[in-house]
Homo-oligomer: A and B are copies of this chain.
Amino acid sequence: MIKQTLESNLNISTTETKIDCLGECKFKNPNKKNSDFNLTQKRIIINPFLDGEAESLKNLSSFKIASPSTKIFFDYGTVRAGIVTCGGICPGLNNVIRSIVLSLTHYYGCHKIFGFKFGLQGFIKKYNHPIVELTPEVVSRIHDFGGTLLGTSRGKQQACEIVDTLHRLKINQLYFIGGDGSLRAAEGIAEEIKKRKLDIGLTAIPKTIDNDIPFASESFGFDTAVEISTKAIKSAHIEALASPYGIGLVKLMGRHSGFIATSASLSQRDVNYVLIPEYDFDLDGDKGFLNDLRQRMINKKHAVVVIAEGAGQKLLKNIDKNSTDASGNPVFGDIGVFMRDQISRYFTNHQMNVNIKYIDPSYMIRSVASNTHDDLFTATLGQNAVHALMAGKTNLMISIWHGVYCYVPLKLVNQREKRLSLSGRMWLNVLESTGQPSLRND
């Protein structure tokens, strides 16, 4: 997805961009063909923006560009790799798994690759999940399917027991596919490994269908999610037009950020209201959403409303603000069902007979196979994760920044957050194309 959001604070110190290494690279890269990996461009600066023409760049902090290394840390015969997928499913998970297995096998000649089942549960004895041997044959066509071959789960597990398991199984490379809460867990595991001075590398491939991981211009599966989301919006639009006073209401994913809702609405341009977590709106009152919607229904006789799952949480008064799910994420009330009922009640009170059609496509989005865009993206992420770990780099995530694959320390990722800027061009485009007013009484 072409992003134009300009994140505001990109002042990162050079120290923060430093990548941990397991040790000296003593072995030759077994791959003969690409003998010269000396890219002339080695780093990409984090903040390429200038405020004005003449000004100089204030900050040259940069990320190392991902690539294979001439010398590598691991002797390929000794590699025992583990792969785990954590959190909710997301288009492209299987591609990442497949790419890691193919790169390890075909490029580096490593043949001991193990899949841990159902996320971090896979490392914990009491769950007793099997460990799966991964070969090119096993992963041969998994990228044509959604979900994850390995299964996944939410929820914290003790870093200690995870590292115990890695140690016991002699795993020395851990490929960690997860987002948000899981990346904090990954950092914890990497720290525990460091504390114990084990030669185990950990590289994360950031996974968030919401596209809200910092220092990732885009996350895999997001482009696919937006594509399927637009189908739901098209359906809502068709339904809204088909009935007298039709209202199509679509709830899209986005717990903390409205990237999916915004991108899908901008692609489709049939949406009249886009409500996202970053955007505070009132329901009632003269300038509130309901009154504005009523004016529109009187004038235009139909409307399409897109709401992200994390939007309008202040309206859901009856939920326990402190409750969290197994991963420690706050539990959200169902804003979609709430809005459907509020709209219905409101128009009944105003004696207008509207036809609301509510669509919640989330599980039909998360579970699809990735589109071609994400196929290419995930295959390359997986390749680069292998290059990073073979060179002994650890406690990092593989990312794409300004179109370039690079390495970002997990610590840096876990200290920031990524939100859609309400003063950025993307949100302004939403306002331009929907004509949506502020929806606030103050």
Binding site for B on A (CB under 8 A): 1-4, 6, 8, 14, 31, 33-34, 36, 39-45, 48-53, 56-57, 60, 62, 65-68, 89, 102-103, 106-107, 118, 121, 127, 129, 141, 144-148, 151-153, 217-218, 223, 226-227, 230-232, 234-236, 238-239, 241-244, 263-264, 266-269, 357-361, 363-364, 366-368, 371-373, 375-377, 379-380, 383, 400, 402-405, 423-425, 428-429, 431-433, 435, 437
Contacts and interface: CB of A to CB of B under 8 A. Distances in A.
Contacts of A435: 106
B39 A6 contact: yes
Contact of A238 (B4, B146, B269): B146
B147 A432 contact: no
Contacts of A366: 235, 239
7 contacts: A6-B39, A34-B432, A45-B49, A66-B425, A102-B269, A357-B363, A373-B373
A242 B376 contact: no
Nearest to A437: B33
A223 to B, nearest CB: 6
B241 A375 contact: no
A373 B236 CA distance: 20
Contact of A234 (B45, B268, B367, B380): B367
Contacts of A127: 244
7 nearest A-B pairs in the assembled complex, by CB-CB distance: A41-B49, A147-B238, A402-B402, A48-B48, A227-B372, A235-B367, A238-B367
Contacts of A6: 39-41, 65, 404
Contacts of A57: 45, 57, 60
Contacts of A368: 235
Nearest to A46: B48
Contacts of A234: 146, 367
Contacts of A66: 425
- The residue in A66, A68, A107, A242 that gathers the most chain B C-beta atoms within 10 A of its C-beta is A242
